[in-house]
Amino acid sequence: MFIIDQFEIVAVKRDTRGNLTNFKLNNGQELDYNQTIQMAETDKIKGVNIIHRKDRKVLRGVPDGEPGNNFDNLPTF
């Protein structure tokens, strides 16, 4: 059995309109939105879903009943 190391998003960065732009992982790595989607698509980030919209992909936290790990509740960097 092959186990993939999975990272967690621990902080976020937003633009002036409040849209998520960057994410910090628990290993200190900082990713832009597209890099984060690419890692999530290959199961390297846990606790996220990718929603497919008409013109783009959108990251959402997995609803797990823990409000502390929702993107809105994560610290900024």
Amino acid at 57: K
From the list 23, 12, 7, the residue with the least C-alpha distance to 74 is 12
**pLDDT tens sequence across 26-53:** 999 999 999 999 999 999 999 999 999 9
From the list 41, 30, 33, 32, the residue with the least C-alpha distance to 6 is 41
Residue 54 to residue 43: CA distance in whole angstroms: 23
Which of 34-46 are b and which e, b meaning 16 or more Cβ less than 10 Å from the residue's Cβ? eebbebbeeeebe
**pLDDT tens sequence across 60-76:** 998 777 777 789 999 99
Residue 49 to residue 45: CA distance in whole angstroms: 10
* Count of all residues that appear for the chain in the document: 77
